Amino acid sequence: MKRSVRNRLGDLLLEAFADPEKRAAIAWLGRFCDLAAGRDRPEVSLADLLAEQPPALSGMDYRVEAAFAHLVGSEKLLQFRCPETGEMPTARMPTQIEGLAWLVELQSDVRTAFAAICERARIYANLAAHMGEGKAISASGDPLRKAMAEAAMCFNAGLFFEAHEHLEHHWAAQPKGPTKRFLQGIIQISVGFHHAHSGNYEGAVNQLAKGLEKTIGTTGEMFGLDCDTFLPKVGVAREEIVKRGRARMCPMPLSGIPRMPVCG
């Protein structure tokens, strides 16, 4: 998947933590992928797409037009097209006018990544359905605690790139000191497991080592993260990768990657 496409997807998910409209957009993207999967061309009629609301949207207060505004348009993921006229509106959601049937399809520059987008969209849709459940964390007023809980949701879903991206915004805003160093360590651990899950030996062992070095000696709870449970398991996972060696490195399954335990 191109970096630009991966970033579009990642931004949509990370912004959805604070924006219900983007959660709705993710749910509609997941439905689009379900309907378009297996077709020669990844496109769906707008009527078919809107015929049934994704289950994740039950009880959610949003407008369909507002949700699709986050998916459709230049530098986004989808576009509307009328096959009879070739029209592709971007400023409004089309309607069935004079018998014209509108299609929803991928933007031309993301079509080659359709399978990867579908895989990610389904994970995103499942994650988005549970966003907002940690109201106690949100109400605590600690942005780093909230960010750690949200990053853990991504990490535990196998979204290591998104976990790293989410924490990186907060890391960049910190002055030099223990907090910045700890956050960088968790970021590097996320990157390390991204490489491990992809089967990249050097990236995995190097980034995990850097992350462990920056979090060494951290005990107890840090921004809601149970370090006593998580960090030793990270060390064990790295040791297992090293023991297996470069020649026998293969993509590490999610079952072999420790979960990030966070307190509510």
Which residue ranges make up each domain of the chain?
A: 3-128, 135-256
Residue-wise DSSP of 166-227: HHHHHHHTSPSSHHHHHHHHHHHHHHHHHHHHHT-HHHHHHHHHHHHHHHTT--SEETTEEH
pLDDT score of 139 = 44
157 has pLDDT over 60 = yes
96 has pLDDT over 70 = no
pLDDT score of 75 = 85
* pLDDT range class, residue 57, cuts 50, 70, 90: confident
Q: What is the pLDDT of residues 158-186, one digit of tens each?
A: 999 999 999 998 999 999 999 999 999 99
What's the gap between Cα 241 and its chain centre?
Answer: 25
pLDDT score of 55 = 80
The strand pairing partners of 78, in sequence order, are: 72, 106
Q: What is the pLDDT of residues 16-42, one digit of tens each?
A: 999 989 999 999 999 999 999 878 888
Euclidean distance between CA atoms 99 and 54, whole angstroms: 26
| Average pLDDT over every residue of 132-152 | 75
Contacting residues for 211 by C-beta, under 8 A, at least 6 apart: 184, 185, 186, 187, 188, 189, 190, 191, 192, 234
* Global confidence as pTM: 0.88
Q: What is the pLDDT of residues 114-131, one digit of tens each?
A: 999 999 999 998 898 888
Q: Where are the beta strands (DSSP E) in the chain?
A: 43-45, 78-81, 103-106, 221-222, 225-226
100 has pLDDT over 80 = no
Euclidean distance between CA atoms 141 and 130, whole angstroms: 20
62 has pLDDT over 80 = no
Fold (topology level) of 135-256: Hyaluronidase domain-like (1.10.3450)
* pLDDT range class, residue 134, cuts 50, 70, 90: low
- When mean pLDDT is compared across 48-52, 54-58, 239-243, 260-264, the lowest value belongs to 54-58
Q: What is the pLDDT of residues 226-260, one digit of tens each?
A: 999 999 999 999 999 999 999 999 999 999 999 99
